[in-house]
Amino acid sequence: MTMATTRQKILITGASSGLGEGMAREFAAMGRDLALCARRTDRLEQLATELRSAHPGITVAVRALDVNDHDAVFRVFGELRDELGGIDRVIANAGLGKGQPLGTGSFEANRQTAETNVIGLLAQCEAALEIFHAQDAGHLVVISSVSAVRGMRGNITTYAATKAAAASLAEGIRMQHLRSPIAVTTIMPGYIESEMTAQAGKTPLMTDARSGARALVKAIEREPAKAYVPGWPWTVLAQVMRFAPLSVVRRLS
């Protein structure tokens, strides 16, 4: 675990809703300056106005960003760095959760999820690391999922595979930057209320959005190599899922 100074200037992708919006609210309440990106600029602007009003001492910069526009990722990250006078932490949170069982004629939905969650994430990591290398400091946070622990069935087969790729990508970057001023954290959320989880219907062990956001920020602030969020019960359940027979994992998914 890296014992870091306060990361004052934080960039969050996918910040217009869900986990990204929740983390933005929590960091704003802690007095951090924010760079918020998402496709839906109307929601971003509304959130930024609210946060500036509630916390007048902070700076909130916003930009429209589709992470599948890879050139835009590099451009927008650079613009936000310049506007805030640097970026101390990038939370690569933008992603898709849609998908269908493979072989059901829904390749397009699965393709979009794979491209956004893997190639789009790769662009975010590359752009963040360019900034951190130039600064010789920074904290990259990759939002994966507890579903990355094993292959999953049905509608989340592709999603789970992309989140396993995200975890592997983050670990490789972390290995490259061991004993350097650049820290890398993989966050593995369990079930936290959001637009994405709402699509899945009623799910056991669901954490409400506010509690989930607080747990995410608390974990990120510690800057561990990897953290399951919330820690209970997901740290334990992840180990069960990792080693259990597929018949057991099927019942948990």
pTM attached to this predicted model: 0.92
Q: So what's the pLDDT on residue 249?
A: 74
SS3 (DSSP) at 181: coil
Q: So what's the pLDDT on residue 63?
A: 97
Please give the C-alpha separations between residue 36 and each of 56, 163, 198, in angstroms, as whole numbers: 17, 22, 23
* Phi-psi category of residue 18: left, alpha or beta, with phi > 0 → left and psi -120 to 50 → alpha: left
Q: So what's the pLDDT on residue 146?
A: 93
Question: What secondary structure does DSSP assign to 75-132, as a single string?
Answer: HHHHHHHHHHT--SEEEE---------TTSS-HHHHHHHHIIIIIHHHHHHHHHHHHH
Annotated catalytic sites, by residue? 159
DSSP letter, residue 69: S
Q: So what's the pLDDT on residue 102?
A: 92
Q: So what's the pLDDT on residue 151?
A: 85
Q: So what's the pLDDT on residue 2?
A: 46
Q: So what's the pLDDT on residue 1?
A: 44
Contact 62, 36 (CB under 8 A): yes
Phi, psi of 143 (to 5 degrees): -90, 110
Q: pLDDT tens per residue, the chain (253 residues)?
A: 444 578 999 999 999 999 999 999 999 999 999 999 999 899 999 999 999 999 999 999 999 999 999 999 999 999 999 999 999 999 999 999 888 999 999 999 999 999 999 999 999 999 999 999 999 999 999 999 999 998 888 889 999 999 999 999 999 999 999 999 999 999 999 999 876 555 555 567 788 989 999 999 999 999 999 999 999 989 998 888 888 888 777 776 6
**Taking the C-alpha atoms of 177, 38, 99 and 91 in order, what is their torsion angle to the nearest 10 degrees?**
20
Please give the C-alpha separations between residue 194 and each of 34, 57, 97, 101, 200, in angstroms, as whole numbers: 21, 28, 11, 22, 10
Phi, psi of 9 (to 5 degrees): -110, 110
Q: So what's the pLDDT on residue 253?
A: 66
119-147 burial, b at 16+ Cβ within 10 Å, e below that, comes to ebbbbbbebbbebbeeeebbbbbbbbbbb
> Using omega within 30 degrees of 0 as the cis cutoff, is the peptide bond preceding 233 cis?
yes
Q: So what's the pLDDT on residue 161?
A: 96
